[in-house]
Amino acid sequence: MSERSDKYFQMLDGWLKYYGFEAINVNAEAGADRVFKRSRVEVTKFGKVDCYICVKYMPEGATGQEMRMYSGKMFSLANRHRTGMPLGFGAMLVVYPLIITENLSSELVGYLNQYCPKHFAAAEFPSALDLSTGNLYYYPNTPIWGYAYYATYRRESYSYFSPKSWEEVARQQIVK
């Protein structure tokens, strides 16, 4: 890892703790550098929501195909590890696979602009962060079937992963 990625991971650990996540030890199985989980009851989602964040550092970037494979693998991992009621019957699963890179390709950005996997009572919302610019990329639109939740997924992805968001939150905390 680079000095910049080490610093980002330290900050990410702190911010995800701030947002109520805890690190879980499935990294070797996952093929991710970090995996976090938060479970809570959310009235707007009609029950218990298990939210997983899976983070992988790929300094040289990733292709769209690599993102698709990584995202699908992280969704399957989270689905295997979640417990409780069946999805759709008092439970929901949200998975945020994140690739961190120092060399984000336009091909990956284009792929994220069109990649929108569909699951029953679950969401897979992959994102990519370019450490060289601090920009975060993810699916920018709202599918008709995801109308109730996609604005939340975009907002949460930005809040959880973007150093720009962390700066905004920190400034607001100072003002209070």
What does the pLDDT look like over 69-84, one tens digit per residue? Answer: 999 999 999 999 998 8
pLDDT band at 174 (very low <50, low <70, confident <90, very high): confident
Lowest mean pLDDT among 23-37, 95-109, 147-161: 23-37
| Residue 171 or 99, more confident | 99
pLDDT digits (tens, 9 = 90+) for 23-55: 998 866 778 999 999 998 877 667 899 999 999
Question: What's the pLDDT at 45?
Answer: 67
Question: What's the pLDDT at 107?
Answer: 94
Range of the domain at 75: 3-175
Evaluate if residue 110 carries a pLDDT over 90: yes
Evaluate if residue 175 carries a pLDDT over 70: no
Question: What's the pLDDT at 167?
Answer: 86
Q: How many domains does the chain have?
A: 1
Evaluate if residue 64 carries a pLDDT over 90: yes
Instruction: Kindly give, in sequence order, each residue whose CB lies less than 8 Å from that of residue 43, ignoring residues fewer than 6 positions away.
Output: none
Query: Quick check: 116 and 73 in contact, CB under 8 A?
Result: no
Select from 166, 149, 169 the least CA-distant residue to 139: 149
Question: What's the pLDDT at 39?
Answer: 93
pLDDT band at 2 (very low <50, low <70, confident <90, very high): confident
Averaged over 122-128, what is the pLDDT?
Answer: 95
Three-state SS sequence of the chain: CCHHHHHHHHHHHHHHHHCCCEECCCHHHHCCCEEEEEEEEEHHHCEEEEEEEEEEECCCCCCHHHHHHHHHHHHHHHHHHCCCCCECCCEEEEEEEEEEECCCCHHHHHHHHHCCCCECCEEECCEEEECCCCEEEECCCCCHHHCCCHHHHHHHHHHHHCHHHHHHHHHHHHHC
Question: What's the pLDDT at 76?
Answer: 95
Average per-residue pLDDT for the chain:
90
Beta bridge partners of 86: none
